[in-house]
Amino acid sequence: MITLEGLSKRYGDTPAVDALDLTVAPGRVTGFLGPNGAGKSTTMRMILGLDTPSAGAALVDGRPYAEWPVPLAKAGALLDAKALHPRRSARNHLVAMARSNGIGVSRVDEVLAIVGIDSVGRRRAGGFSLGMGQRLGIAGALLGDPEVLLFDEPVNGLDPDGVRWVRRLMRSLAAEGRTVFVSSHLMSEMQLTADQLVVIGRGRLIADAPIADVIAMSSRSTVHVRVPETAGLTALKDRLATEADRVDTQLDRLIVTGVPVERIGDLAHELGVRLHELRTNHASLEEAYMELTADSVQYGVAEAVA
């Protein structure tokens, strides 16, 4: 488990992370989202003791990461896949990491095989492609067989096969009861991988909720109701107008925002209105995310008018 308590980091006058309170629970994949400069990497660095908080605390299983006797056995991370000695072989890079944590060298060969780069383990890591470098970074994260895993943009540079592999790996690590905290800008990928979403903007928490709730809360999620009789359509529309955020009519169809599908079904039943269709049109995660972060985008460009 990861716990953030009032976690803050300032660089000069700029707050990079601003009073974050958060629990990242085991047994699920938690996606960590936010616009460029939102503070995701800074938060991850503070969890790993690589940056010192200006205020508050970041705890891994109740203690600062660095205080664990074998840190790599508690938490493993992929932060910057390029942060390695370019002339060292991939295997030697992992051997050095393992030795510093008292981890047996046999585990190095295990993790090289898990990430699928065992055949190139003796090649210089500096000559690796972006995707191979990511795999090596993930091998490093898995080295201590840790309970907590942090991945900053893990699918960066991976081909579709590699992306699927990372998705399955994250899901299986979470299924084993581990805490998996992963940042990404790829919304479609997050929608497939994450159970829980944490969204930050300008260093502050915007949302911490199951992915299904984030999507359901979006105003882009609507319920479509098809009503064959005009009188019924009008009656249901008038009734919905008292509690919906918005009701639009398209021919024999009502498009309702802000009322759950179950409630609409109940209201139609109460009014004796016959329905030919009742379905939820879910927003995509990308739509929900854009809406949540609209006020926090620092480096956005004005959207072109079609």
Ligand X SMILES: Nc1ncnc2c1ncn2[C@@H]1O[C@H](COP(=O)(O)OP(=O)(O)OP(=O)(O)O)[C@@H](O)[C@H]1O
> If binding is defined by CB under 6 A, does position 38 make contact with ligand X?
yes
Binding part of the chain for ligand X, among 37-45, 93-101, 213-221, 258-266 by CB under 6 A, reads 37-45
Beta strand pairing status for 277-281 and 222-226? antiparallel
Query: Which residue number, 20 or 136, has a Cβ lying nearer to ligand X?
Result: 20
> If binding is defined by CB under 6 A, does position 37 make contact with ligand X?
yes
Q: Min. distance of Cβ 253 from ligand X in angstroms?
A: 40
Beta strand pairing status for 179-183 and 148-152? parallel
> If binding is defined by CB under 6 A, does position 36 make contact with ligand X?
yes
Give the sheet arrangement for strand 148-152, strand by strand.
75-78, 148-152, 179-183, 28-33, 196-201, 204-210
* x-marked contacts with ligand X along 7-26 as a string, rule CB under 6 A: ----x--x-x----------
> If binding is defined by CB under 6 A, does position 42 make contact with ligand X?
yes
> If binding is defined by CB under 6 A, does position 179 make contact with ligand X?
no
> If binding is defined by CB under 6 A, does position 74 make contact with ligand X?
no
> If binding is defined by CB under 6 A, does position 156 make contact with ligand X?
no
> If binding is defined by CB under 6 A, does position 296 make contact with ligand X?
no
> If binding is defined by CB under 6 A, does position 98 make contact with ligand X?
no
Binding part of the chain for ligand X, among 40-48, 58-66, 77-85, 115-123 by CB under 6 A, reads 40-48
Query: Which residue number, 57 or 186, has a Cβ lying nearer to ligand X?
Result: 186
Q: Is the four-CA dihedral 63, 69, 72, 78 of positive or negative sign?
A: positive
When binding is defined by CB under 6 A, the residue of 30, 41, 184, 218 that contacts ligand X is 41
- Interface size with ligand X, residues (CB under 6 A): 11
> If binding is defined by CB under 6 A, does position 80 make contact with ligand X?
no
- 102, 72 contact by CB (below 8 A): no
> If binding is defined by CB under 6 A, does position 56 make contact with ligand X?
no
Q: What is the binding site for ligand X (CB under 6 A)?
A: 11, 14, 16, 34, 36-42
